[in-house]
């Protein structure tokens, strides 16, 4: 029998009654503030085209590796069974069947943020009042489907309903940003959607993605010559200007590590040529990448783009899944992170420059109190990125606040980022972060480490001025 | 003056009254359920022989390095002073004197699980109602001694009283499992006691234990020829079948690291021969060991034995203690753990095979949210092992639940294991884990992240179906 | 408008009412006990000269890198703007202006221990009753200034008022300890101020500080010949005796890592000579340093001086700040710590010797449960140092207690150290630690893991007998 379920208004707030009262007041101050989303992976075409969303499975399951990975790990339900194209062959899984698989396995998500977010979405957006399960899977599927046909559920209507003040996407340097331009030029859409310059594939001259990247950038930038290192840098600078003209305020880099030792131009040029010839060694490729991270900081000092860095993820660990389904299907895993030593060259050169904002993200919590807090507490350029990906969870957010605030305070943190490709989950994610910040601050108020007035100012700033200032929005 | 002491019925449950109410209800659901103990070090002869336990010191102090290490570190009381054979010479320490040493130093154990478990045992099993101390040491010694003479305190009676549904031991591949067979054949004992195949000494061809291991296995397996690598693998497969025939469902491996790169058979054969000749290099020995871990997984895919892995312990750090007293005397220490990279070969080959259950244990908490949770949340074969050894403690269990559940949920955890050689502590350890799980879940209920009904199902499953399924019991 | 502010009497105690009641009782037991400060950086001349403190900025801001680093990171306020001598040129910043900078940026310190300590000082010592801010900066500056002119605010009067029972300073082996002698001989001052022998600059024969160190020690020790390694060791032994004669009970070492492999004397002699010639390689310098750490332990076994070790800090990361302002200006950062492997030679040689007390400090919390607790729980010589520097914070102290107590109990911890050069912050720091210990123990009492009577004894011991015994005071 299905169980009635409504998200509790005090969810995620502390259990102790006195502390909860404080937390509720703090949360209420920010609960309905607009959403600032400076880092995410929503496709701008979603808003440009403004087509109705597809079926519930396509919307909430198939593209979301946070969701599908646990169907795989817990019940062995493979990618094609959740609707993914496998080796070029589209899945023939029925959306309703995919939905049923999730419903049957919904117990496996107890205690996870995935379940938390989706319950929030089902309740708040689709007025679902029962816990999802095998017995009501079809009814809930039908209820969600019916709503999706409504114009109020088109992307732009939801963008307004979600009160998204600004949303950044993630884009390739060779992207012409036509979608962003069209959105900005569209008088019927007043939302602010900004591109973010992400040049990872340009950093590894030993990788399969490097040569195509050079080709694409040459095609994208007038007069570009990416056959030389200097030419590539020039084309990158031009591309960044193009991004800035289309509203970009930030770049993003996801690299194996944070090494940032610069190369002499001649040496970089030599390795670039070796990359073109296919003779680059592993050591050379790493040196090239470290130099490139240094150059990105140099460019940010020149053009003012905020620099986001999230090193230390091992990508596509399970090669069979990568071959069958491509990247971003759940088999990326955190590695040991390190910032203090690898960033020494970059921070010595640029760490006190007022133009540089360097936001450090990690999926390895051990650096919170050991590196991220202390670096953000000394270098004017460094900001402590909030927990992200695997650790964008209530408990990890509380651990982050407790570990980083000691040495960096609240005002050298990044403010929340949702980092999501799941458009519908954006309000749930920001709401979760606000609740956790209220929880954290209420604990500090209740133990008399900060006054409630000051905590109120802090939580407002965490939701508004802090992300705005960090990301130069 | 001695202090009255009774373990509090709400011990380890949260202090907040609302949360405690929930925790108490959750705990009550599982408090008296039978014990499933899939990983431990009790000697099966204990149950076969069913002799009365010796004196209190022999029972509770001398063989338990959890206890003796703190007498050494805090008060300099050496191994022979707690009854251990030193350099082959049996200790002449009087059991009552050993007991007095513990009593005098009992304050040193405040805040440790050792004290928690032993107070539970003294109160629940021996009806001790006072806190142990110098002034009542003799009286409590006498009280415990008197009970031990009672038939109700023989091992089999306690096995029944403890409601142990199944208990796994740890055994050498060359073991004939006669004790297990005799126990199974003994109509007067209905308990289920299963062997576990642990082949650590076969993995290091540079180690002093390797050649004797080959000899032992040759003697144990009909027609075995362990002079060759292929012969050794064949003998191992035969030994595993022998274990399976005697009820084994699992293997265990405690290795310096989790490296799992396979070797070509010819290369493995070559190193095997070098091992026999005593010419193996350190690098070759490591390569051989990594290959062997890979082969263990391969064998598990073939025969279905659950594979437990707990890498990253530096054994016998204090060589003088090792020389005087042997292994397992308290000077093993945790090292940095790593799974994601070293297990890449093994998981790419077997990580999605339905026959493989790979349970990852660690004494380095940094891998909880960084590696163990994410791996268990993607690979069907991977299970997150509960905290173990140094971190089998209330606080670490709560940290584990908070860190691992985010990315793996509850249903890819192993369920509790006690890992103990102290038979009498088994109920106290399982009870502690159940209380901590109730504590954790009650916090989630009180903050409205899970309903109490769902939490009730989860804690029942954590105590019953989860360990049963993980360990194929 | 300024806000009234008084430190709450229950600050840092748990929010839950039942637990808070217990915590308050525990805290009350130790709140007014004398201060034992076995590790710090106050200059003994401060007490010898007993001059009035200067202005509020000189007293509370300029020399305290905990404070100035966040003015720099948050508001770009550089060292000379807070009063520091830059490239040899004294700052011309007005003290009142410096104070205003802090006041304007006081919100940046929310949630940090720096704000916590300074609010304690302003309220308790200077009777400030308002939250510092831009609007009352001048008034509070004047109020603090006026007090500083009072004889009751001279260092010796405060030493008495703070109830400092014993305070250790940090001193160079070549120091003649004249200030300590004069203080001890001064009949008008009854305080106990002890030197601590810190020989870091003698350990690196490749460093710029090494040759001057040898010269200084030769000048300080009669008949010393530091041109040879054996001569250096002999001079060190003599220097340590000199320290012991002046009351020293401890040494301190802050080194890049905890490596402790000894060298044959001839090899050490050879590297020493290479150091004199300026031909020492990096590998030789490391080997020399590791040997020196081993020798320090050997000397401690001989002369009984407690050995403090805090490895793993990357010093002077931002070289421009170091060049302009020198060391200790906020750009030292924690690195990954490791004890178990690097200390293997030292602990095998001396780890069970009754003369050795080796206190391990860390700024990398990952070693708490993995290395520090287990090592202190086995080796009689090893003591777990409390959180220090970046992690001398309420949350980290609670994490430390929860992580280390499991395997080492309370009686193998060091007791609190304040490690401060800010004399006025000493009571605030010790008070914070006592509140956190009360918080921790009250949680254990409220969850029935320790009785309140036992917890009372533990917190008294943590404040008195434990540091006294650890540091042989």
- Scored b (16 or more CB within 10 A) or e, C338-355 reads bbbebbbbbbbbbbbbee
Question: Residues of C with CB below 8 A from B112's CB?
Answer: 405-407, 409
What pLDDT is recorded for position C1?
55
* Domain annotation covers residue A12: no
Structural domain contains residue C7: no
* Interchain CB contact of A164 with B (< 8 Å): no
Which residues does chain C have within 8 Å of residue B72's beta carbon, measured at their own beta carbons? 352, 378, 380
- My answer on whether A102 and A158 are in the same domain is no
Over residues A416-457, the pLDDT tens digits come to: 999 999 999 999 999 999 999 999 999 999 999 999 999 999
Here the CATH number for the domain that contains residue A37 is 3.20.20.140
Domain shared by A42 and A81, yes or no? no
Q: Which residues of C touch B120 (CB under 8 A)?
A: none
Q: With an 8 Å Cβ cutoff, is C70 touching chain A?
A: yes
| pLDDT computed for residue C5 by the predictor | 83
Q: Are B329 and B286 in contact (CB under 8 A)?
A: no
Band the pLDDT of A209: cuts 50, 70, 90: very high
If we measure between CA atoms, which residue out of B412, B461, B468, B385 comes closest to residue B29? B461
Cβ–Cβ contact C319 with A under 8 A = yes
Arithmetic mean of pLDDT, B268-280: 98
Which residues are registered as beta bridge partners of B105? none
In this structure, is residue B72 part of a structural domain?
Answer: yes
Residue A152: both structure tokens together: 């109020």
Cα–Cα distance, A64 to A82 (Å, whole number): 10
One domain, residues C263 and C328: yes
Report the C-alpha gap between C371 and C406 in whole angstroms: 12
**Could you tell me which of B313, B304, B286, B287 has the C-alpha nearest to residue B241?**
B304
Which residue shows structure tokens 């199944």? B166
Q: Is A330:B378 a contact under the CB 8 Å cutoff?
A: yes
Residue A462 has pLDDT above 80, yes or no: yes
Whether A339 and A260 have beta carbons less than 8 Å apart is answered as: no
Question: Which single residue is written with the structure tokens 């992207």?
Answer: A175
* Nearest CB to A318; choose among B14, B351, B407: B351
- Phi first, then psi: give them for residue C272, nearest 5 degrees: -55, -45
Structure confidence at residue C137 as a pLDDT band (50, 70, 90): very high
Touching chains, B (3+ CB pairs < 8 A): A, C
Q: Find chain A residues with C-beta within 8 A of B351's C-beta.
A: 318
A–C CB contacts, 8 A cutoff, strictly below: 133
Q: Which residues of A touch C73 (CB under 8 A)?
A: 376-380, 382, 408, 412
Does the pLDDT at position B169 exceed 60?
A: yes
Q: Of the candidates B340, B409, B410, which has its C-beta nearest A317's C-beta?
A: B340
With an 8 Å Cβ cutoff, is C330 touching chain A?
yes
User: Which tens digits make up the pLDDT trace of B285-310?
Assistant: 999 999 999 999 999 999 999 999 99
Neighbours of C448 (CB within 10 A): 17
CATH number for the domain harbouring residue C106: 1.10.2020.10
Identify the band that residue A1 occupies on the pLDDT scale cut at 50, 70 and 90: low
Q: Which pLDDT score is estimated for A4?
A: 85
Cα angle B55-B61-B65, degrees, rounded to a multiple of 5:
150
If you average pLDDT over residues B394-421, what whole number do you get? 97
% residues pLDDT > 70 (chain A): 100
pLDDT at C108: 98
Contact by Cβ (8 Å): B82, B58: no
* Interchain contact B331–C (C-beta under 8 A): yes
> Which residue among A375, A408, A453 places its CB closest to the CB of C333?
A375
| pLDDT score recorded for residue A44 | 97
CB distance B443–A15 less than 8 Å? Answer: yes
Q: Is residue B7 part of a domain?
A: no
Averaged pLDDT for residues C425-431: 97
For position C66, what pLDDT does the model report?
Answer: 94
Last residue of a domain, one of A105, A126, A152: A152
Q: Give mean pLDDT, residues C166-190.
A: 97
pLDDT score for A261: 98
Question: What are the DSSP calls for B58-77, one per residue?
Answer: HHHTTT-HHHHHHHHHHH--
Kindly state whether A439 is in contact with chain C, defined as any CB-CB distance less than 8 angstroms.
no
pLDDT of the residue at B1: 55
Taking residues A106-124, report their average pLDDT: 97
Instruction: Evaluate whether residue A10 is within a structural domain.
Output: no
The count of structural domains within chain C is 2
| Residue B376 counted as domain residue | yes
The domain boundary, picked from A152, A179, A204, lies at A152
Query: Which residues have C-beta within 8 Å of that of residue C444, sequence separation ≥ 6?
Result: B111, C450, C455
State whether B108 and C375 contact (CB < 8 Å): no
pLDDT at position B4 is 85
Q: Quick: pLDDT tens for C143-160.
A: 999 999 999 999 999 999
> Do A305 and A413 lie in a common domain?
yes
Domain residues for the domain of A293 are 17-51+154-470
Domain match, C235 and C358 both:
yes
Tell me how far the alpha carbon of residue C213 is from its chain's centroid: 22
Q: What percent of chain C has pLDDT over 90?
A: 99
- Structure tokens of A397? 């957010």
* Window B:332-361, CB contacts with A under 8 Å: 338, 340-341, 344, 347-348, 351-352, 354
Confidence category of residue C4, pLDDT binned at 50, 70, 90: confident
Contact of B406 with B375, CB cutoff 8 Å: no
Give chain C's largest Cα–Cα span.
Answer: 71
Cβ-Cβ pairs closer than 8 A, B with C, add up to: 135
CB B396 within 8 Å of CB C406: yes
Q: Is the pLDDT of residue B3 over 90?
A: no
- Regarding whether A198 and A328 lie in a shared domain, the answer is yes
Q: Do B73 and C402 touch (CB under 8 A)?
A: no
Q: Which residues of A touch C319 (CB under 8 A)?
A: 348
Q: What pLDDT does residue A3 have?
A: 82
Our CA angle for B315, B317, B322, nearest 5°, is: 85
- In the predicted structure, residue C384 carries a pLDDT above the cut 60: yes
- The pair of structure tokens assigned to A241 is 């200007």
Smallest CA–CA distance, residue A416 to chain B, in Å, is 18
Average pLDDT, chain B: 97
For C309-353, write each residue's pLDDT tens digit: 999 999 999 999 999 999 999 999 999 999 999 999 999 999 999
Lowest mean pLDDT among A153-162, C1-10, C26-35, C239-248: C1-10
Strands C250-253 and C306-309: parallel
Enumerate residues 6+ apart whose C-beta is below 8 A from A146: none
Give the Cα separation of B272 and A466 in Å (integer). Answer: 62
In angstroms, the separation between the Cα of residue B448 and the nearest Cα of chain C is 19
Q: Give the angle subtended at the CA of B466 by the CAs of B465 and B470, to the nearest 5°.
A: 115
In the DSSP assignment, the letter for residue A364 is -
**Cross-chain Cβ contact C340/B331 below 8 Å:** no
Q: Which of B445, B448, B456, B466 is the best substitution to test chain A (most A C-beta atoms within 10 A)? A: B448
Q: What share of chain C is helix, strand, coil (3-state, %, to 5)?
A: 50, 10, 40
Asked whether residue C6 is assigned to any structural domain, the reply reads: no
CB-CB: which of A369, A376, A449 is closest to C73?
A376
A contact residues 89-148, partner B, Cβ 8 Å cutoff: 107-113, 116, 131
* Final residue in a domain of this structure, among A95, A119, A152: A152
Confidence of residue A390 (pLDDT cuts 50, 70, 90): very high
Do C211 and C302 fall into the same domain?
yes
Tell me whether residue B251 is in a domain.
Answer: yes
Give the pLDDT confidence of C34-55 residue by residue, as tens digits: 999 999 999 999 999 999 999 9
Task: Give the nearest partner residue to A409 out of C8, C110, C335, using CB atoms.
Answer: C110
Residue B375 is nearest to which of A10, A333, A364, comparing CB atoms? A333
**Is A288 near chain B, with CB under 8 Å?**
no
B322, B333, B436: best to mutate for the C interface, most C CBs within 10 A: B333
C12 contacts: CB under 8 Å, gap ≥ 6: A447, A448, A449, C394, C432, C435, C436, C439
- Could you tell me how many CB contacts below 8 A there are between chain A and chain B? 135
Neighbouring residues of C452: CB distance < 8 A, sequence distance ≥ 6: C22, C25, C26, C445
Dihedral angle of Cα A113, A116, A118, A121, to the nearest 10 degrees: -130
Whether the per-residue pLDDT at B210 is higher than 90: the answer is yes
Contacts of B443 in chain A (CB under 8 A): 15
Closest-CA distance of chain B to residue C11, Å:
19
Q: Is there a contact between B3 and C406 if contact means CB atoms under 8 Å apart?
A: no
pTM above 0.90? yes
CA distance linking residue B298 with residue A255, whole number of Å: 33
Helices (H), A89-228: 95-104, 113-126, 137-148, 155-161, 178-185, 210-220
**Across the interface, which of C407, C410, C454 has its CB nearest the CB of B390?**
C407
B72 pLDDT above the threshold of 60: yes
My answer on whether A346 and A465 are in the same domain is: yes
Contact call for C378 and B69, based on CB within 8 A? yes
Are both B320 and B398 inside the same structural domain? yes
| In the block, residue with structure tokens 């081993």 | C294
Q: Does B220 share its domain with B291? A: yes
**pLDDT at A243 > cutoff 70:** yes
Say if the Cβ atoms of C73 and A408 lie within 8 Å.
yes
Which chain B residues in 16-45 lie under 8 Å from chain A, judged by CB atoms? 16, 18-19
Q: How many helices (H) and strands (E) does chain A have?
A: 21, 10
Gap between the Cα atoms of C393 and C371, Å rounded: 21
Considering the domain architecture, whether residues C267 and C216 belong to the same structural domain is answered as yes
In C, minimum Cα distance to B74 occurs at: C380
User: Do A137 and A278 fall into the same domain?
Assistant: no
C395: contact with B, CB 8 A cutoff: no
């Amino acid at each position: 029998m299905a169980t009635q379920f409504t998200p509790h208004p005090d969810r995620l707030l502390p259990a102790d009654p006195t502390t909860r009262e404080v937390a509720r007041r703090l949360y209420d101050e920010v609960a309905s503030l607009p959403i600032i989303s400076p880092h995410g992976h929503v496709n701008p075409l979603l808003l440009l085209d403004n087509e109705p969303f597809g079926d519930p499975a396509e919307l909430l399951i198939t593209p979301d590796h946070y969701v599908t990975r646990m169907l795989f790990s817990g019940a062995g339900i493979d990618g094609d069974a959740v609707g993914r194209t496998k080796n070029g062959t589209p899945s023939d899984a029925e959306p309703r069947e995919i939905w049923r698989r999730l419903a049957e396995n919904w117990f496996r998500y107890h205690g996870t943020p995935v379940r938390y977010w989706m319950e929030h979405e089902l309740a708040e957006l689709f007025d679902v009042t029962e816990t999802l399960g095998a017995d009501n899977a079809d009814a809930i599927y039908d209820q969600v489907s019916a709503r999706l046909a409504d114009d109020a559920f088109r992307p732009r209507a939801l963008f307004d309903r979600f009160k998204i003040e600004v949303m950044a996407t993630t884009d390739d340097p060779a992207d012409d940003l036509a979608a962003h331009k069209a959105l900005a030029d569209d008088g019927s859409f007043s939302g602010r959607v900004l591109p973010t310059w992400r040049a990872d594939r340009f950093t590894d001259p030993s990788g399969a993605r490097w040569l195509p990247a050079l080709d694409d950038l040459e095609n994208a930038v007038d007069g570009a010559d990416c056959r030389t290192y200097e030419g590539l840098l020039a084309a990158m600078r031009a591309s960044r200007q193009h991004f800035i003209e289309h509203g970009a305020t930030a770049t993003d880099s996801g690299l194996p590590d944070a090494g940032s030792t610069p190369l002499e131009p001649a040496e970089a040029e030599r390795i670039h040529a070796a990359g073109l010839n296919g003779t680059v060694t592993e050591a050379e490729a790493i040196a090239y990448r470290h130099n490139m991270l240094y150059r990105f900081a140099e460019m940010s000092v020149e053009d003012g783009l905020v620099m986001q860095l999230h090193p230390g993820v091992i990508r596509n660990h399970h090669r069979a899944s990568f071959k069958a389904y491509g990247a971003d299907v759940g088999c990326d895993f955190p590695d040991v992170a390190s910032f203090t030593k690898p960033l020494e060259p970059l921070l010595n050169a640029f760490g006190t420059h007022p133009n540089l904002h360097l936001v450090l993200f990690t999926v390895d919590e051990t650096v919170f109190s050991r590196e991220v807090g202390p670096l953000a507490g000394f270098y004017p350029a460094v900001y402590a990125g909030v927990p992200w990906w695997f650790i964008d969870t209530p408990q990890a957010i509380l651990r982050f606040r407790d570990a980083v605030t000691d040495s960096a305070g609240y005002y050298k943190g990044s403010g929340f980022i949702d980092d999501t490709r799941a458009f519908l989950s954006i309000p749930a994610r920001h709401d979760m972060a606000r609740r956790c910040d209220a929880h954290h601050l209420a604990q500090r108020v209740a133990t008399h480490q900060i006054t409630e007035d000051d905590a109120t100012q802090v939580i407002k700033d965490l939701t508004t001025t802090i992300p705005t200032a960090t990301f130069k929005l």
